[in-house]
Amino acid sequence: MNKSYTHKRLTEVGLKVTQPRLAILKILVESKEHPTVDDVYSKIQKSHPGISLATVYKTLETFTDTSLIKKVGSRESSIRYDARQDSHSHLICIKSNKMLDFHDSELNLLIEEYIKKKNIDNFEVQNIEVNLYGELINQKY
Ligand SMILES: [Zn+2]
């Protein structure tokens, strides 16, 4: 992942390019772990030791508002951030709090067809993302 990608992404959404923003976005783009605000905060201390938790939090909110990243996880206490742009589901371990990407086009098709049949009033489904909560049994990740 080169520096120009994060630079380009910030510019694309109309954000001013600053070193902390570049560094925070880089952490998110390179991470497969769906970091929490605390994870990002501890990682960024290596390159930007002076940065405050409030700044990290504010930056993540700005990124979310401009759709650079999205919040994942339904529980308010375990909000995580995801820089992946494509629609995808997650496997969430309730013990370790790990969150893994989960792709299953067959599952999405099943849900899409089911929802179509259901014909929900006054609502059009545009995107399906499923959170599966459970326990990682084989900790190979
Ligand atoms: Zn994800």
Taken in order 14, 20, 23, 26, the sign of the CA dihedral is negative
> pTM for the whole thing?
0.78
Measured in Å, residue 45 CA sits from the centre of ligand 1 at 24
pLDDT 10s digit of each residue in the chain, 141 long?
555 899 999 999 999 999 999 999 999 999 988 999 999 999 999 999 999 999 999 999 999 999 999 998 756 567 899 999 888 899 988 888 888 999 888 998 899 899 989 888 888 888 888 989 999 997 665
**Residue 99 CA, ligand 1 centroid: distance in Å:** 8
Task: Say if CB 35 and CB 80 are below 8 A apart.
Answer: yes
Distance 89 CA to ligand 1 centre (A): 7
How many whole angstroms from 102 Cα to the centroid of ligand 1? 8
How many angstroms does the Cα of residue 84 sit away from the middle of ligand 1? Answer: 6
Task: Kindly state the helix (H) or strand (E) to which residue 19 belongs, with its residue range.
Answer: helix 19-30
Q: What residue spans of 32-104 are helical by DSSP H?
A: 37-44, 53-65
